[in-house]
Structure 1
Amino acid sequence: MRWRLLSALALLSPVLAVPQVEADPAPEKAAEIPVAPVAPAASPASTHAPTVFNGQTVPPMRELKGATLDEDISKGYWFVEFFSPYCGHCIKQAPIYQTLYEFYYTSKPVPTSKEKEGADSLNTFTRFYDLKFAKLDCIAYGDACGAKKVQSFPTLALFKNGELVKSKVGTQSLKELSKWVEETLESIRPGSRPAGGVKLPKVGAKEVEGGAKPDGSEAKGKDPAAGAAAASKQNALASASVSSASPAKTSSATLESDYHPNPAGTSMPLTAEKFQKLVTTTREPWFIKFYAPWCHHCQAVAPNWSQMAREMKGKLNVGEVNCDIEKRLCKDAGVRGYPTMHFFRGGERVEYDGLRGVGDLIAFAETAVESGTGVVDVDAAAFSAMEEKEEVIFLYLYDHATTSEDFQALERLTLSLIGHAKLVKSKDAKLNERFKISTWPRLLVSRDGVPTYYTALAPKDTRDFRAVLSWMQKNWLPIVPELSSSNAREIMDGAYVVLGILSRDRADEFVVAKREIKNAALEWIDKQTKAFQLERQELRDAKQLRIEEAEDRNDQRALRAAKSIRINMDEIPRKEVRFAWVDGVFWERWIRTTFGITVKEGERVIINDEDNRRYWDQTITGNPIVPSRTSILETLKNVVASPPKLSPKSTVSSIEHFFFRIRQICSGHPYLALAMGLVVLVGGSIWGRSRMRRRNGGFFQLNEKEGLLGNVGGANGKVD
């Protein structure tokens, strides 16, 4: 309604302005009247005729329409000016924005005179960067401007694939706008813009010298050839991308299609110089192995690494660094053991700590390639289809008010989730209804259809990378994962683990046992959630009771103390309970030596406490724990009781258990351990000295020839 009213007033303003112009013959008075509405076509912002800049024909700037605005800007980058033809600031901004458009439209991303000019050339600004300039008349399309929350004129906005990235309000100078454009272009294609900046034309000019500014060297300033070389150096990355394509291909393919990672299907040996050039200073993904030739583990994984590189031909760059030669590079990469494998992308990295089989390496590499596409936007149907394939999915729910900073923080998480879980985003109303979301943005994880929510008091909490990643690491395992060498520590440490010892050889029993363990896990989680809520409610009731008592006594001091009580359930110490299963045939030796169980006797369940080197394998009736929901839950509640109602068994020998308990006490009470150490040291010293005195007869040697006082009887030493 507000936009329609503004539109009506704006359309009436020329009619109301005419009598004032005729009534006042003075020219200086007429300049104060907004005469631009009488002839808006004279404004550069509204011209429809092609222009010429640097000798090239420039088509009219794209004028967007409200009905198709979202569709038009849905792909690529768009600079859009929201203006009013009757706004004085917009009229002032129009020639600046037009000059900016003409300058960049005619600029060459790669300065070369050999390339053929034409619309099909890749060396054009629009095709190289996929960035376009446009404008929208907010008087004609007020509803569209209102939907984009445009409240002032002129407003310049940058959109990426339909999403608002950044906006500026008010008249901007050509230098300010160019700086904004240069930052955007550098983010689209890192390294393609000249470090010294570009030489801008004057507003309204029709030509300007292109290229980068000189580096500042006198030789380059005096020598035109050196200056051209400096400009070419600044654009080396873009030049390499274009020059590598043949003329026949450049007319029908984009630069992205000319980029083929790992064309030979081999693992490229990397030196420090190559690593800096190909990995550090680019955004290309690389899977790199740091190794030593004498390392037996490196020699064992070498064939699998080579086969993985062949499978990743044309998909992912694969490299390797010899740490015996490149010691400094390996030290900077934080390599502490061999082999160490890292996935690099855009200056960030993540370490691969999984199994080293061919299938495991290929699975990780393919997941890493998929992560390069960013966080995928899904609807309810697509999310349901993903749940059938994936056990763990992180879902980011957002609305129209979610900012670009929120999405940028979300994109940072993709690298850390490689090989662990999927991350998707959605604004589908059905998903909001399913997960009962009323505030946005909201992050949750769906594990086998059971949601767990990330607690965020404000939208900025979802942008806290470390806090969000820490929460994800605690929840990226399935409800009942398979225990393996790569995730054993992550599962076993710091928790009671209900571990099912199963055998794939008995297919029917295997499926039934896994289902029973999962049902037990879901029921336990549900009970713990309800108990947690009840406990928190009890604490709230206790706080409210204290407040009411203080108010009844009119005790302001007690009232302030009661109100200052914080209910933080995270501070309540409680040991987590996790569920997992292990292949009893593959890990038969470890299971037999640690728990004294063999899977040949049938599927079994043990409850392990790795922190205290103990476990339980029997119910309260003395029978073995079997993969049954009833058997597991009845035993589990007796195990987690404080103290446990069932006697545990030890996973280590008596001597090992003794030293383990000493180490545990020392680590848990460091000051007490230090005091005990000092007491033992002082006591041992005193005892040792006393033993030496007894053995030597004390301090005084009375049995010696000269006696206690020595030779006091004269020179002959004669004594009666």
Structure 2
Amino acid sequence: MRSLLISPLIALSFAASVFAAPPIKADAPALPPSNFARDAVSNAARDAPDAPASPAKDPELKGETNKDPVTDGADSGPKGTVFNGQSVPPIPELSGTTLDQDISKGTWLVEFFSPYCHHCKAFAPTWQTLHEFYYTSDPLPASNKESSHSLNSFTRYYDFKFAKIDCVAFGSACSDHNINSFPTVVQFKDGKEVERKVGALPMKDEVKWIESMLETIKPGSRQKDGPKLPKVGANSSPDFKGAAVVGPAKEADAIAEATKSTTSTTSTKSLLKATKIAKETANPAGTSVPLTAETFQQRVTTTHDPWFIKFYAPWCHHCQAMAPSWHAMARDMKGKLNVGEVNCEVERRLCKDVNVKGYPTLIYFQAGERIEYEGLRGLGDLISYASKAVSAGDGVVDVDAAAFEALEKDEEVIFLYFYDHATTSEDFQALERLLLSLIGHAKLVKTKDPALSARYKISTWPRLIVSRDGKPTYYTPLSPRDMRDFRKVLGWMQANWLPIVPELTSSNARDIMDHRLVVLAILNRERKEDFVIARRELKSAALEWIDKEIQAFQLERQELRDAKQLRIEEAEDRNDQRGLRAAKQIRIDMNEIDRKEVGFAWVDGVFWKRVAQLTSGEFLRIHIRISKSVNSHAMRS
């Protein structure tokens, strides 16, 4: 148990070493600080004699008069591009004479470069793709966004701009900002430097940095897993569909076509097929639909259509704060998921029937089933949950061994249902009911692949297991009644849907902390190598502890069985029929034994440190108690 206690990790104080910024290595050679502009020009001329000389624009070099501060696509300058079907202007090129004035308002991400630097040339396609990708991204989706002046545009929503400045042409301006290597990307907030990255970073590292900025600007607006990235030089993002970029007329045609599709398929009887049809025509306007008791009955209760509904009161401050994120989520779910809202001040009886006890209450309805959403209420969190709900509408996916192995690379927790030719429709119906409760928690798939049955030693069907980080746990009841018992199966799933070592967040803190002792590791996600090693060690310790607990559980159960058998034999030796009957009626129930469960988790120390700084220390304080009895028990193990 060398790594089981991980005593350094149980410390609940933020050591300075945890938050030390990782060293940044420049990809480009450093430039001398003295005579910056003239040296840069002379070095460029020496290194690239065949290249045409750039006109010197710095007043110190040529005495140039004032020019426009930003060059954004004049006829003689760089041309615009097209990305995701939208026109994208060139990256603004800032002038050294007005640099400080240009970046005085909002957030600017500025690349300081030299046109003769090989690293800058290699980085240029990445920087261009980043500009195009974010310029065309839509934080508050609208049907049409052709201008950067649109309120729904990325630029206006975040007040965030990409730019670049030529340090050969404007050497003194670069020198004033202590630029000594190329390329250097600097984040400015209202004219003040916030952070800089030196060197040509990969696309994914740049995006991670940018996403952290955007999340700081608009908390809760970014998805936790980050966006799907385009390839460098691509003209569209991976999830872009050409049909999505349409004008109002084409959009109306698309809605009409979807409506026509619904009419032609109303005769279907399958819940799964009905769900797929609903997905194609759901939420055509991209709005949160106000519902009354009558329309709720017509559109939600008596249909199989999935709905994500907010129950609120107009005077509720939490409801008012969440409203922009809720409506933005509804726009994002256009054509995917029905979104609605009920004013409980007006529809009091309806809210009472739904058992609304607080505001806002968010509930997902589908085919007579319901599940209350208890996660975070930021835009990214709502979109993530709604997207998973849409995916659940496809039903329980059938996988083979290869597909399951691929799924294991992306999912930490997977519930796997084994079936064969004799599995009945009642079994599958019971399985489908579980999907709703698993949204946002874990993946549920089914299989009849002999290779998977052999891998997990399955000899009876149907059978249910959970694979957590590759370690299987079996649902032990095997009778048809137990396999179809929704509450019993769901209870087992809830006890096993956390990863072996989950990240502790405010949304899952209750699941992790309730009725258990927790070994908590405070990690630094930004130190990638150390982070991976620390998680591996923590997971190894957790798995070792689980193995020990299983052995102790089996040993304790065997001791109870032996004690029961001993009482039976003693009664038989005494010919005590009454004692024999009593001994045989002894029921061994391991659930009745009070055992303190021990869990493992980790927390992003850097994130919580930033939260503390942003909120002046007034943030959620998590208190973990690791009792001496756990330590002594671990030492004995």
TM-score range, shorter chain: 0.5 to 0.7
Partner of 1:460: 481
Partner of 1:515: 536
> Deviations for 1:134-168, whole angstroms, at most 9, x for unmatched residues?
xxxxxxxxxxxxxxxxxxxxxxxxxxxxxxxxxxx
Letter in 2 for 1:638: S
Secondary structure at the counterpart of residue 460 of structure 1: helix
Inter-partner Cα distance in structure 2 for 1:563 and 1:306: 63
Partner of 1:369: 390
Contact 2:311 2:361 in 1 (8 A): yes
- How many residue pairs match? The answer is 371
Secondary structure at the counterpart of residue 522 of structure 2: strand
Q: How far 1:480 sits from its partner (Å)?
A: 0.9
Q: Using a 3 Å threshold, how does the CA distance of structure 1 residues 607 and 437 change in structure 2: closer, same or farther?
A: farther
Q: How far 1:326 sits from its partner (Å)?
A: 1.7
Contact 2:279 2:390 in 1 (8 A): no
Letter in 1 for 2:598: V
Query: What is the root-mean-square deviation of aligned Cα atoms in Å?
Result: 3.2
Inter-partner Cα distance in structure 2 for 1:122 and 1:474: 42
Inter-partner Cα distance in structure 1 for 2:278 and 2:373: 29
Secondary structure at the counterpart of residue 437 of structure 2: coil
Partner of 2:632: 638
Give the counterpart of 1:422 among 438, 443, 447.
Answer: 443
Partner of 1:295: 316
Inter-partner Cα distance in structure 2 for 1:376 and 1:528: 33
> Deviations for 1:244-291, whole angstroms, at most 9, x for unmatched residues?
xxxxxxxxxxx9499511111111122222211111111111111112
Partner of 1:563: 584
Q: Which structure's relative contact order is higher, taking Cα pairs within 8 Å and 6+ residues apart? A: 2
Letter in 1 for 2:304: R
Partner of 1:580: 601
Inter-partner Cα distance in structure 2 for 1:497 and 1:350: 28
Matched, 1:360 2:381: yes
Matched, 1:283 2:304: yes
Partner of 1:386: 407
Letter in 2 for 1:465: F
Secondary structure at the counterpart of residue 308 of structure 1: helix
Contact 2:280 2:336 in 1 (8 A): no
Letter in 1 for 2:594: P
Q: Using a 3 Å threshold, how does the CA distance of structure 1 residues 447 and 591 change in structure 2: closer, same or farther?
A: farther
Inter-partner Cα distance in structure 1 for 2:404 and 2:291: 41
Contact 1:547 1:559 in 2 (8 A): yes
Inter-partner Cα distance in structure 1 for 2:459 and 2:376: 42
Q: Using a 3 Å threshold, how does the CA distance of structure 1 residues 187 and 454 change in structure 2: closer, same or farther?
A: closer
Q: How far 1:403 sits from its partner (Å)?
A: 1.4
Inter-partner Cα distance in structure 1 for 2:391 and 2:412: 18
Query: Aligned ranges for residues 156-235 of structure 1 at < 5 Å?
Result: none
Q: Relative to structure 2, which stretch is displaced further, 295-304 or 554-563?
A: 554-563
Inter-partner Cα distance in structure 1 for 2:469 and 2:544: 13
Structure 2: 5+ residue runs without aligned partners?
Answer: 1-259
Q: Using a 3 Å threshold, how does the CA distance of structure 1 residues 489 and 590 change in structure 2: closer, same or farther?
A: farther
Q: Using a 3 Å threshold, how does the CA distance of structure 1 residues 328 and 128 change in structure 2: closer, same or farther?
A: closer
Secondary structure at the counterpart of residue 415 of structure 1: helix
Partner of 2:351: 330
Inter-partner Cα distance in structure 1 for 2:353 and 2:262: 38
Query: Which has more radius of gyration?
Result: 1
Partner of 2:250: none
Matched, 1:490 2:484: no
Matched, 1:449 2:470: yes
Matched, 1:317 2:338: yes
Contact 1:397 1:425 in 2 (8 A): yes
Q: Using a 3 Å threshold, how does the CA distance of structure 1 residues 256 and 464 change in structure 2: closer, same or farther?
A: closer
Query: Aligned ranges for residues 2-151 of structure 1 at < 5 Å?
Result: 129=267
Give the counterpart of 1:536 among 549, 557, 561.
Answer: 557
Give the counterpart of 2:492 among 451, 471, 480.
Answer: 471
Structure 1: 5+ residue runs without aligned partners?
Answer: 1-120, 131-184, 191-254, 599-605, 609-613, 621-634, 646-720
Contact 1:584 1:591 in 2 (8 A): no
Inter-partner Cα distance in structure 1 for 2:261 and 2:381: 39
Q: How far 1:384 sits from its partner (Å)?
A: 1.1
Letter in 2 for 1:309: A
Contact 1:270 1:319 in 2 (8 A): yes
Q: Using a 3 Å threshold, how does the CA distance of structure 1 residues 317 and 551 change in structure 2: closer, same or farther?
A: same
Give the counterpart of 2:431 among 400, 410, 419.
Answer: 410
Partner of 2:111: none
Matched, 1:260 2:251: no
Q: How far 1:591 sits from its partner (Å)?
A: 9.5
Contact 1:440 1:459 in 2 (8 A): no
Q: How far 1:396 sits from its partner (Å)?
A: 0.9
Q: Using a 3 Å threshold, how does the CA distance of structure 1 residues 566 and 122 change in structure 2: closer, same or farther?
A: closer
Q: How far 1:463 sits from its partner (Å)?
A: 0.6
Inter-partner Cα distance in structure 1 for 2:262 and 2:307: 27
Inter-partner Cα distance in structure 2 for 1:290 and 1:361: 15
Q: How far 1:581 sits from its partner (Å)?
A: 1.0
> Deviations for 1:641-700, whole angstroms, at most 9, x for unmatched residues?
9xx99xxxxxxxxxxxxxxxxxxxxxxxxxxxxxxxxxxxxxxxxxxxxxxxxxxxxxxx
Letter in 1 for 2:354: A
Contact 2:416 2:445 in 1 (8 A): yes
Partner of 1:243: none
> Deviations for 1:479-501, whole angstroms, at most 9, x for unmatched residues?
11111111111211101111112
Secondary structure at the counterpart of residue 281 of structure 2: coil
Q: Using a 3 Å threshold, how does the CA distance of structure 1 residues 590 and 538 change in structure 2: closer, same or farther?
A: farther
Q: Relative to structure 2, which stretch is displaced further, 554-563 or 285-294?
A: 554-563
Q: How far 1:553 sits from its partner (Å)?
A: 3.4
Q: Relative to structure 2, which stretch is displaced further, 345-354 or 255-264?
A: 255-264
Contact 1:368 1:418 in 2 (8 A): yes
Secondary structure at the counterpart of residue 581 of structure 1: strand
Q: How far 1:559 sits from its partner (Å)?
A: 2.5
Inter-partner Cα distance in structure 2 for 1:479 and 1:640: 18
Inter-partner Cα distance in structure 2 for 1:536 and 1:349: 38
Inter-partner Cα distance in structure 1 for 2:451 and 2:272: 34
Q: Between the two proteins, what is the percent identity of the paired residues? A: 68
Contact 1:395 1:425 in 2 (8 A): yes
Q: How far 1:305 sits from its partner (Å)?
A: 1.2
Inter-partner Cα distance in structure 2 for 1:394 and 1:410: 11
Secondary structure at the counterpart of residue 457 of structure 2: coil
Partner of 1:439: 460
Q: Using a 3 Å threshold, how does the CA distance of structure 1 residues 590 and 488 change in structure 2: closer, same or farther?
A: farther
Q: Using a 3 Å threshold, how does the CA distance of structure 1 residues 444 and 259 change in structure 2: closer, same or farther?
A: closer
Q: How far 1:586 sits from its partner (Å)?
A: 2.9
> Deviations for 1:23-60, whole angstroms, at most 9, x for unmatched residues?
xxxxxxxxxxxxxxxxxxxxxxxxxxxxxxxxxxxxxx
